[in-house]
Chain A
Amino acid sequence: MNALETLQTRLRERFPSLESTLDPGESGTASWYLDVRLGNHSIVIEWRPGFGFGVTSGHEASYGAGPDERFDEPDETFRRVVLLLLAGAVTRSSTSVTQGTRTIGRGEVIYRLVVAFRRPDGGRISWMILDSKRPRKRRFKRLDKVIRELQKVLR
């Protein structure tokens, strides 16, 4: 049983009337999807091995768009989905700030992409660095650490 199947089991235990459909990936790296519905409220939960969870609640995402909210840990995802189901709440797309061509220091072009996002629930701002040479995302809670990491690129 993988992380998304475990999450489905936990949600069914928490909400016995929950309707849920698992859409498994067929390759080892593919995203799995869990579509859940409680009453008239629907949530899509995505899980990709090694990349964590994504949650989109209460609305249809644009074609090809990723999830509104991202979580690393199953417990964190479970708590958020429970809250969204209880409240019937709608998620919003994260606020993103792209700085792929922003220059720092000596005027060189940074090839990394910085995404700043604020979670709708807690208002906390975090930063992610998406690096073309490193497919795995890295998250930072402090902007000064993001800048320090980016400046390494310029050395």
Chain B
Amino acid sequence: MDDGRMDPPQADSARSVPSHPSVRRFRSSSHNTFLGDNGAIEIQTLAGETIFSKPGADGEGVWNP
């Protein structure tokens, strides 16, 4: 249901990411949100297109901590 609000990823929706132990994936209906241990964030569509990314505190992205 789209009521105009953005619901953040829920803690229990966290999934591990193969080969990237420092990254957690949070699944929602049409997106995957990736969070790195360094605080980096990346949001992808289910097709894998990145629609948002922000580096972590160390200046690195989700995949290059």
* A residues adjacent to B (C-beta < 8 A): 23, 25-27, 29-31, 33, 35, 44, 46, 54, 56, 60-68, 93-94, 96, 98, 115, 117
Judge whether B57 is part of the interface by a CB distance below 8 angstroms.
Answer: no
User: Chain B binding site: helix, strand, loop or mixed by DSSP?
Assistant: loop
How far does the Cβ of A106 sit from chain B's closest Cβ, in whole Å?
A: 28
How far does the Cβ of B8 sit from chain A's closest Cβ, in whole Å?
A: 7
Q: Which of B1, B5, B9, B15 contacts A25 (CB 8 A)?
A: B15
B30 A60 Cβ-Cβ under 8 A = yes
What sequence of 0s and 1s flags, for each residue 1-26 of chain B, a beta carbon within 8 Å of any chain A beta carbon?
11101111100111110000000000
User: Chain A binding site: helix, strand, loop or mixed by DSSP?
Assistant: loop
Q: Which of A30, A44, A54, A65 contacts B7 (CB 8 A)?
A: A65
B1 A68 Cβ-Cβ under 8 A = yes
Selected A-B contacts with CB under 8 Å, 5 pairs: A27-B12, A56-B30, A60-B46, A61-B30, A93-B3
Q: Given contacts A33-B27, A44-B29, is CB(A67)–CB(B13) below 8 Å?
A: no
Within 8 A of A (CB), among B8-58: 8-9, 12-16, 27-31, 43, 45-46
Contacts of B7 in A (CB 8 A): 64-66
* B residues adjacent to A (C-beta < 8 A): 1-3, 5-9, 12-16, 27-31, 43, 45-46
**In the bound complex, CA of A56 to CA of B2 (Å):** 11
Contacts of B16 in A (CB 8 A): 26
Task: Apart from A61-B30, A63-B31, A65-B7, list 12 A-B contacts with CB within 8 A.
Answer: A27-B14, A31-B13, A46-B29, A60-B46, A61-B28, A63-B6, A64-B9, A64-B28, A65-B2, A65-B29, A68-B1, A93-B3
How far does the Cβ of B12 sit from chain A's closest Cβ, in whole Å?
A: 5
A30 B2 Cβ-Cβ under 8 A = no
Contacts of B2 in A (CB 8 A): 61-62, 65-66, 93
Residue of B nearest to A60 (CB): B30
A-B CB proximity, top 3 nearest: A64-B7, A65-B2, A61-B29
